[in-house]
Amino acid sequence: MNNLDSSRISRSKFWQYFIVYFVIKLFFLMAFKIAVSSGYDGVALLIPIFIAELFFIIFCVKRLHDINRSGWNCLWLLIPIIGWLIIIVWCGGTKGDVGENQYGTDPLQPSPPVMPKSKE
């Protein structure tokens, strides 16, 4: 996860993060449902789901920055089905800006080589 410090991520990174997010969320939702139906209090299982949601929002913001949109567009996620579809289409299907934009450098452009310091 070397992109946590960057303001932009590529579509492929977004899909990688989305798959991990989806698997984690699905696992803990199923565990929560099993715990509750068995008579246990499954509130502790909601904590990893909440953390996964926070990371998903972070990666959506980074992806929206790559297509030169504001992170405030993540508020679409509050609209149950339509909002999620809008975000998935934007983040997962829209090609990012080529070159630098107001949110940072292009994640697909190679970074300049770092020259080692000479020993003097």
Predicted confidence at residue 21, as pLDDT, reads: 94
Predicted confidence at residue 1, as pLDDT, reads: 46
Low-confidence ranges of the chain (pLDDT < 50): 1
Predicted confidence at residue 52, as pLDDT, reads: 93
CA distance 39 to 41: 7
Nearest to 3 by CA among 49, 63, 53, 69: 63
Predicted confidence at residue 114, as pLDDT, reads: 67
Predicted confidence at residue 44, as pLDDT, reads: 87
Q: What are the φ/ψ torsions at residue 104 (nearest 5 degrees)?
A: 140, -170
pTM of the model as a whole: 0.78
CA distance 92 to 85: 10
Residue 39: which residues within 8 A CB-CB, separation 6 or more? none
Predicted confidence at residue 100, as pLDDT, reads: 84
